[in-house]
Amino acid sequence: MKFPSDEEVLQEFRNRPDAVPRSEFLHTLERKLVEVEQQHRSRSKMRRTTIRLGLSAAVLLAVFFLAPIFTRLITHPESIMTTKPEAPLVLKGQQLKLAEVSPAVKQTLEKLFNLVPELKTMEPKVIGKEDGVYEIVFYQKEQGKEQRYVSVEMVAATGKISNYENEKAMNEEAPSPTEEEAKQMSAAFLQALLGDEFKQYQVSQNANNDWSSVAYTRYENGLPVFLDRYYVGVNSKGVTYVNTPEGAQPPVSSEAFPKPGTFLSEEEVIAKVASLIELTYSLEKDTGKPLLTYSLETTGYFHAETGEDVESVSSHTSRYSDVISVKPGGKKLAARDADEVAKVMAEEFGIDMNGVSFEADERILPDKKGVEGTLYKSSGGTEKIMVYTNNKELTGFQIRGKIETASSTQHDNKPANAKLTYEEAKEKAVQFLEPYLDSSVKELKIDESQIMMPTSTAYSFSFFALHDGVVVTDQNYLVNVDGQTGQIVNFMDNFMKPIGPFPDLDTAISREEAVKQFLQSHPVELGYILPVEKETLQLRPLPVYSVDTRAYFLLDAISGKLVK
């Protein structure tokens, strides 16, 4: 929802994408702090990635949920059909020589060498990007220094490229190509890599205003295969990148795709999408006025013939817990300078401040006018601590024993070596939170699908306040509890005070009316998906309707008009 991410803290929460991003978007604050010298290249790479995906401002949802689990699944295609998967051909962090890569990857490299002959003369560095995935970086020496020339990520078992970047070409100034040039150059490059498989893909424009990015989507039986797609970046000189936003797909023959049958009627589709629409309260960004809104919180796919939900690597479902009754304390904590921050952390939260000092990083929060936000960063001590304040009051903190994060899908709220159960950790989180809850909060729900600012050993709880039993999206709190020690390692207070009364629920339009509005601007699309069952990707394509939630949708439940 609206918890400040690490990127927001550094004023780098930019370009909220309307397409599903790769996990590389999720640059954590810790990485930024220890890799200052790489910031310029990272920002350039972010801009290039934004262009290649044809992004526009929208809610970043699947970012936290997609790439890591998909990487794990596709690198073990055998495990889909057997209960004992084979060991991956390369482990994360493993360093190898080029001669030691898998035969499938060697075959793909030969194709790549034909496309970019100068790579043959370069000595690359090879490392396990993830279990079962190679990252191969080719360097060119310039003035005695090594400069990245080309980087490529490939699935060890299949040799498929999930990401290719020609950094040399990216850094060269060149105008955008014409449509004919873009199609010709991208097709020649991708066909050389895919061989006969290339015939399965259809071309379309990916960038909004030009042909700097070309999309290739697989089609079977005249229908798109969702998520089996390549984005190819081009300029007037040639190909700059090849990107698979959801990762390289495992091989599936055309015969595995079932012929289209009898699909749901229009009325059944409307009823299904209506069940995914949620009524929520939100606050107008500029005025703080409460709004009663319909939004589509559940994303993904449902079976085109049965209407059953189909989970995929790009699905996300809001899973709210039962109502939690609370006794709010309304407590505020003054933190006007670094000394007061240290005092509050020691006296209020019991953190050992021996040898620890804080430095302030003054900034204006990007989406809160008139709010003076300050980030305090610790030095000394055995833990890395960051403290957030708004208008001289403490609104959150983050504690790390070392530089470490865990992706939400790898984590799945099942922290490593936990001694506390989920319920025990939740009880600790509620007990911790109650004193600091706004006095108006009487009930909470946890969105169990949200795992924010995680570490590998911590449970993550995203709490949302209720008004008349309805979730208020702009009144939320984050509490993360270490599953081994019970320590609170994250706390974020993102409660916004409403300006004015909440609209009456009885005045809302019906779900059916809301969904008709949604489908006018976001029609469902028929295609195929590889389903995920029990966190395992199945090589059994299913016909599905795709519910488009990549574009932002919020409907005023009183007027029936779209909220801009």
Which of 352 and 42 is assigned the larger pLDDT?
Answer: 352
Q: Measured between alpha carbons, how far is residue 513 from residues 81, 318, 508, 520, 537 in Å?
A: 44, 22, 10, 11, 36
Token pair 């600091």: residue: 436
Token pair 């300078």: residue: 337
Question: Does residue 503 carry a pLDDT above 50?
Answer: yes
Q: How far apart are the first and last CA of the chain?
A: 17
Strand partners, 370: none
- pLDDT of the residue at 3: 42
Using pLDDT thresholds of 50, 70 and 90, give the confidence band for residue 195. very high
* Range 485-498 average pLDDT: 95
pLDDT digits (tens, 9 = 90+) for 434-455: 999 999 999 999 999 888 888 8
- pLDDT of the residue at 451: 87
- pLDDT of the residue at 191: 97
Torsion of CA 365, 370, 376, 377, to 10 degrees: 20
pLDDT digits (tens, 9 = 90+) for 314-329: 776 778 899 999 999 9
If residue 427 lies in a helix (H) or strand (E), which one and from where to where?
helix 422-433
CA–CA gap between residue 444 and residue 323 (Å, rounded)? 6
- pLDDT of the residue at 100: 95
Question: Does residue 189 carry a pLDDT above 70?
Answer: yes
CA–CA gap between residue 182 and residue 190 (Å, rounded)? 12
Token pair 């950790």: residue: 425
In three-state secondary structure terms, 248 is coil
Question: Does residue 59 carry a pLDDT above 60?
Answer: no
* Range 199-203 average pLDDT: 96
CB count within 10 Å of CB 173 equals: 6
- pLDDT of the residue at 468: 95
Closest CA to 452 of 464, 440, 444, 441: 464
Closest CA to 543 of 244, 221, 251, 268: 221
Is the separation of the CB atoms in 502 and 439 below 8 Å?
Answer: no
Output the DSSP codes for 35-99.
Answer: -GGGHHHHHHHHHHHHHHTT--S----GGGTSHHHHHHHHT-GGGGT-SSPPPPSS-TT-EE-GG
Is the separation of the CB atoms in 393 and 332 below 8 Å?
Answer: yes
CA–CA gap between residue 239 and residue 169 (Å, rounded)? 8
Is the separation of the CB atoms in 226 and 211 below 8 Å?
Answer: no
Residues 6+ apart with CB under 8 A from 542: 258, 303, 310, 528, 529, 530, 531
CA–CA gap between residue 86 and residue 423 (Å, rounded)? 34
Using pLDDT thresholds of 50, 70 and 90, give the confidence band for residue 372. confident
Torsion of CA 446, 8, 277, 302, to 10 degrees: -90
* Range 237-259 average pLDDT: 92
In the 3-class helix/strand/coil scheme, how is 311-359 assigned residue by residue?
Answer: CCCCCECCCECCCEECCCCCCCCECCCHHHHHHHHHHCCCCCCCCCEEE
Q: What are phi and psi of 18, to 5 degrees?
A: -105, 10
pLDDT digits (tens, 9 = 90+) for 255-275: 999 998 899 999 999 999 998
Which of 120 and 81 is assigned the larger pLDDT?
Answer: 120
CA–CA gap between residue 112 and residue 136 (Å, rounded)? 12
Question: Does residue 283 carry a pLDDT above 70?
Answer: yes
What is the residue-averaged pLDDT of the chain? 82
- pLDDT of the residue at 427: 97
- pLDDT of the residue at 239: 96
Residues 6+ apart with CB under 8 A from 209: none
Indicate the range of 67-76, 345-354, 496-505, 553-562 predicted with least confidence.
Answer: 67-76
Is the separation of the CB atoms in 75 and 154 below 8 Å?
Answer: no
- pLDDT of the residue at 557: 95
Strand boundaries in 263-316, DSSP class E = 277-283, 290-296, 300-303, 309-310
- pLDDT of the residue at 24: 29
CB count within 10 Å of CB 375 equals: 20
The pLDDT > 70 percentage for the chain reads: 79
CB count within 10 Å of CB 256 equals: 13
Domain ranges of the chain: 77-256, 266-317+505-556, 323-495
Cα of 17 vs its chain's centroid, Å: 10
Question: Does residue 424 carry a pLDDT above 60?
Answer: yes
Residues 6+ apart with CB under 8 A from 202: 216, 217, 218, 219, 224
- pLDDT of the residue at 404: 60
pLDDT digits (tens, 9 = 90+) for 292-302: 999 876 668 99
The pLDDT > 90 percentage for the chain reads: 58
Amino acid code (one letter) for 27: H
Residues in the chain, total = 564
Phi-psi group of 127: left, alpha or beta (phi > 0 → left; psi -120 to 50 → alpha; rest → beta): beta
Record the tokens describing residue 553, joined without a space: 């949708």
Is the separation of the CB atoms in 150 and 240 below 8 Å?
Answer: no
Closest CA to 375 of 393, 383, 363: 363
- pLDDT of the residue at 365: 56
122-140: b (≥16 Cβ within 10 Å) or e: bebbbbbbbbbbbbbbbbb
Using pLDDT thresholds of 50, 70 and 90, give the confidence band for residue 285. confident
Using pLDDT thresholds of 50, 70 and 90, give the confidence band for residue 174. confident
